[in-house]
Amino acid sequence: MLDESNFGTRDNKGYWKPFGKILTQPLYIVPIKPLKFIKWIFGWNGYLFPWKIIWIFIAVLCWFYLTPTMNQMKHLKFDWIAFIFFRNSIITFVYVGFFHWYWYLRKSQNTNFKYNAKFPETNNSKFLFRDQIKDNLIWTFCSAIPIWTAYEILTLWAFANEFIFWVNWDLYPIYLISLIFLFPFIHDLHFYLGHRLLHWKPLYRMVHKVHHYNINPGPWSGIAMHPMEHIIYFSGIMIYWIIPSHPIIAISHIFYAGLAPNNGHGGFDKIVFKNGKWISTESYYHYLHHKYFECNYAGDSMNFLDKVFGTFHDGTDVSYEKLKQKIRDKKITIK
C-alpha cells in the first residue's frame, strides 16, 4: 500500500490534503502550450484517461447492446421504458457499488488517502433514517435514476420520431468526434450555472441543502439530491434537443452526469491497488466545496470559471485564508 505521507499531509483533526495546489482547467490553454495540452488530453490521469473513457465506453456499450431499437422507441411503451430504468439502476448499482464496497465495506485502504478520516454517519437526524448511506441510496434510486431515465427516454423518443435533428456518422464524423471531446465541457458549464443557481439562498434552503448534508461525502453521495435538483442537474441533455447530434452523444452525456459524481464524492484522493499501482480520483476540488460550501462551484473541466468569479479554492492555506475572510465578511460559519 502506498504511503499517503509521500503525497500529502494529515492534520491533527484527521483531514488529509495533497501536496501542491489545484490547477485551473482546461490546462495549457492560456498561455497556449500545444504539446502539453495534447499530452493532457490523451495522457494517463489527464482529460480523457481513464475516467471519461470509462464512462463513454459504458454509454457506447449501452447504446449498442442495452438500448431498444429506434422503431421500438417511436412509441412510449412501458416495456422499453422499464427496461431502460432497470438498465440504469443496475449499472449505477454495480459501478458506484464497487467503489463503496472497495473503500467503505472492505476498507481496502482503511483511511489511506481519505480526505476526512471519519466514515459515513449512522446517527444524524439530518439524514433519512438517521443514516447517511441509507439516505444517499434512497435519493439515488428513488429520485436520481427515475429523473435521469425520464430525460433519456424523452430524448431517445424524440430522436426516434425525428423531432430533433440526428447527424449521420458517415456524413459528419469529424463534427461528432468533436462533440465527444466537447460534451464534458458542455456538461460542466451547465453544471456550474445550475450549481450557482442552487446556492441562491431560497433554493439552497428548499433544495440543495439535501445534497450538502454530505459534508463528508462518499460514493453514493454523488447524485443524492432533492428531486428538484435532479430536474435541474440532468436537464443538460436538453442541449441535444437544440444542437444537431447523435443519440450516442446524448447517452454519453447523461451517463457522464450520472456516473462522474461518484469520483467527486468518493472521499478518497486515489484508488490504490495491492501492487502499488494507483489511479487519481480527481476529487479534491469538489471535496473542498462540500467542506467549505462557498467555493469551487464548477466541474473540474471548467474550474477556470471559479477563478474568473473569485470562488476558486486551490487547496492551499492561502486560498483557505482568503475564503475565511470572505465568509467572515458575510458572517457565515464554516466547519
- Residues 166, 159: contact at Cβ < 8 Å? yes
Does residue 335 register a pLDDT over 50? no
Q: Quick check: 247 and 166 in contact, CB under 8 A?
A: yes
In the structure grid, which three cell numbers stand for residue 133, read together? Answer: 448511506
Give the rounded percent of residues in the chain with a pLDDT score beyond 90. Answer: 90
Beta bridge partners of 18: 8
The letter for the amino acid at 251 is I
Residue 332: is its pLDDT beyond 60? Answer: no
Q: For the segment 268-288, what is each residue's pLDDT rounded down to a tens digit?
A: 999 999 888 899 998 999 999
Question: Which range has the worst mean pLDDT, 83-92, 222-231, 233-242, 273-282?
Answer: 273-282
Tens digit of pLDDT for each residue in 117-160? 999 999 999 999 999 999 999 999 999 999 999 999 999 999 99
Q: Which of 29, 235, 43, 276 is nearest to 151 (CA)?
A: 235
The HSE-up count of residue 40 (CA atoms within 13 Å, CB side) is 14
The helix (run of H) or strand (run of E) holding residue 278 is strand 278-280
Q: Are 142 and 225 in contact (CB under 8 A)?
A: no
Per-residue pLDDT tens digits for 79-106: 999 999 999 999 999 999 999 999 999 9
pLDDT one-digit tens code per residue, 151-195: 999 999 999 999 999 999 999 999 999 999 999 999 999 999 999
In whole angstroms, give the CA distance from residue 314 to residue 27.
Answer: 14
Look at residue 1 and tell me whether its pLDDT is greater than 80. Answer: no
Angle, alpha carbons 97-280-60 (nearest 5°): 60
**Is pLDDT at 331 greater than 70 in this prediction?**
no
Q: How far apart are CA 109 and CA 102, in angstroms?
A: 8
Q: Where are the alpha helices (DSSP H) in the chain?
A: 34-42, 51-65, 78-100, 132-139, 145-160, 173-198, 201-203, 209-212, 227-233, 247-259, 261-265, 284-292, 304-308, 317-330
